[in-house]
Amino acid sequence: MEPTDSSSRGLWADNLHLMPSTPKTPAICPSLMSADAMRMGEQLDDLLAAGARVFHVDVMDGYFVPNLMLGTETARGIAGRVQGDGGLVDVHLMVNRPGNAIRWFAPHADMISVHVEADPHPHQLLTEIRAAGCLAGLAINPGTPLESVTPLVDRIDYVNCMGVNPGFSGQSFIPETIDRLAALRDLLPDRVLLQVDGGVGAGNAGATRAAGADLIVSASAIFGAPDPVASYRDLVERVQAA
């Protein structure tokens, strides 16, 4: 009997794509967890027209985090529009034991991040993400030591440094995140992009960029504003000026 290896591509990966190029940075990444579900397509098109090219899809299972959020149909639904305009679909798996979820989302994603806290075998997961043709990201919670990234650095394309404890949109940014970003930037090789996710808005977007963030995820600061496009453009200006 041939051995089975969940890190190999296998039959599930028959329709997957080649690994994309890393996104142009710095980039503001609208997080669709705060989009209006009844107007998501319209809001997506407006942000694409405004220049957004990385869209963040938060996936939650109710176990790893105390909330349920977005699934494969969301990623599938936006992929054609986003990728057709040269953009990237960035899937953030806030789920326990995300091995199966990688397989579900990879056909529609360009980037997939998993939490180092969510599985005892992150090497295997990161290898599987790359084998599926996606950029591999490692997410770390606010209380996780930054050194947890070091043994995995050769297998990752970006690190998602959480600015809040994951699970809900609209939380306040944890101030110590700025120091964590700066420390991670010193720790990581230049080729590994640094993402910040959670609590980012007009008051701190520039500071996250100055601390080394390349990909700045924002949810409620964009979609909770009266004019999401204007809010997106304001964040872009603040990051570019940092």
167 or 151, greater pLDDT: 151
Position 61 in a domain: yes
Which structural domain range is residue 34 located in?
Answer: 20-241
Orientation of helix 72-84 relative to helix 40-49, angle to 10°: 30
Catalytic, 179? Answer no
Under the banding of pLDDT at 50, 70 and 90, the label for residue 212 is: very high
Model pLDDT, residue 2: 32
Position 11 in a domain: no
pLDDT in tens, 92-143: 999 999 999 999 999 999 999 999 999 999 999 999 999 999 999 999 999 9
Model pLDDT, residue 112: 98
**Per the structure block, which two tokens stand in for 202?**
């007009």
Position 98 in a domain: yes
Position 148 in a domain: yes
Model pLDDT, residue 7: 40
Segments of the chain assigned E as strands? 27-30, 54-61, 68-69, 88-94, 111-115, 135-140, 158-162, 193-197, 215-218
Average pLDDT over residues 3-15: 42
**pLDDT over 90 (residue 157):** yes
Position 173 in a domain: yes
Average pLDDT over residues 18-32: 91
Average pLDDT over residues 80-96: 96
Catalytic hit among 58, 61, 119, 157: 58
Give the CATH number for residue 222.
3.20.20.70
Q: What's the predicted TM-score (pTM) here?
A: 0.91
Residue 242, helix vs strand vs coil = coil
On average, the pLDDT of the chain sits at: 91
How many structural domains comprise the chain?
A: 1
**pLDDT over 90 (residue 4):** no
**Per the structure block, which two tokens stand in for 164?**
């809040």
Position 7 in a domain: no
Position 69 in a domain: yes
Catalytic hit among 110, 157, 197, 214: 197
Give me the percent of the chain exceeding a pLDDT of 90: 81
Catalytic, 157? Answer no
Model pLDDT, residue 190: 96
- Within 8 A by CB and 6+ apart from 175, the residues are none
Under the banding of pLDDT at 50, 70 and 90, the label for residue 224 is: very high
Position 46 in a domain: yes
Model pLDDT, residue 233: 98
Model pLDDT, residue 45: 97
**pLDDT over 90 (residue 17):** no
